[in-house]
Amino acid sequence: MIRRAFANAQRRFTTAATAAAQTQNAKTQEQLTHFGYKTVREEDKEQLVGSVFRNVASKYDVMNDFMSGGVHRLWKDHLIQTLNPGPNVKLLDVAGGTGDIAFRFLDYCKKVYGANNTASVTVVDINPAMLEVGKERSKRFGFADSGKIFFQEGNAENLVNIEDASVDAYTIAFGIRNCTHVDRVVSEAYRVLKPGGRFTVLEFGQVENPLVKGIYDLYSFQVIPRIGQIVAGDAESYQYLVESIRKFPPQPKFAAMIKNAGFTLVGQGWEDLTFGVAAIHTGFKV
């Protein structure tokens, strides 16, 4: 009987120890995330990403031209065409510090609806250096005193200064993959959009065509960091940016995340651009 009691106690201890280890492992896993191909603590990623964009802010748009051969401009133009904003749309552009999407939006509304349209855009970015670039560009392009564009420092995962159901459209271009919790970004977008509002994401995608993928991977890993070193004096930041693209969920998985947040998808939920090198994802808050 003593032996049986000891065996039972030993089993209980082993079970408890195993459960405790599993719980601890789960907690440890929950606190880890990726920074490119590196594994880092969640609490450190925001600072690491911030450092990348502080380093590249002044050369960000120039580097986009070099890396994509100017194709990023066509993708962004197509995003605005896809958004097809009305004359009174209130747009929230998140992670849009340099103003690329915001300026296109305002130009589109002026061209289509005339100078007296009431469309406006609030640009939110977590990185002050990127926002400063956007503010300087807004002066250069004649938007600074228009009363139609506003710059605000903020975190895409927790838009504390944006009220519930307060914007007509939400855009985020090449920014969501840098966030620690992508699901929280999508949920915040749903919260701040009005019923009928449109969530539009322009982000790099996963290329499926084997031939194109091989060329794309070779260019990404062998050429882009070298361009980063030559143009921006920073190969490491562009190595991270290339790796972050590969860590972002493929188009079907990201579309499912958008749907799970409550958005209604149109068709499959995304449009591939340039063989899937980039994609535009769309969801409506019904």
Q: Look at the chain and count its residues.
A: 286
* Alpha-carbon span 50 to 242, nearest angstrom: 16
Burial of 5: CB neighbours in 10 Å, binned 0-12, 13-18, 19+: exposed
What are the backbone dihedrals phi and psi of residue 234, each rounded to the nearest 5 degrees, phi first?
-150, 90
Beta pairing class for 90-94 and 167-173: parallel
| 156 carries a ligand binding annotation | yes
Angle (CA) 69-70-74 rounded to 5° is 135
Burial of 24: CB neighbours in 10 Å, binned 0-12, 13-18, 19+: exposed
| 19 carries a ligand binding annotation | no
* Alpha-carbon span 110 to 66, nearest angstrom: 29
Beta pairing class for 149-153 and 120-125: parallel
Return all residues near 96 (Cβ < 8 A) that are at least 6 apart: 102, 123, 124, 125, 134, 171, 172, 173, 175
| 98 carries a ligand binding annotation | yes
| 279 carries a ligand binding annotation | no
Helix locations, 70-99, DSSP H: 71-83
Cα–Cα distances in Å, from 115 out to 90, 225, 248? 16, 42, 39
- Which residues are annotated binding-site positions? 98, 125, 155-156
- Which residues are annotated binding-site positions for S-adenosyl-L-methionine? 98, 125, 155-156
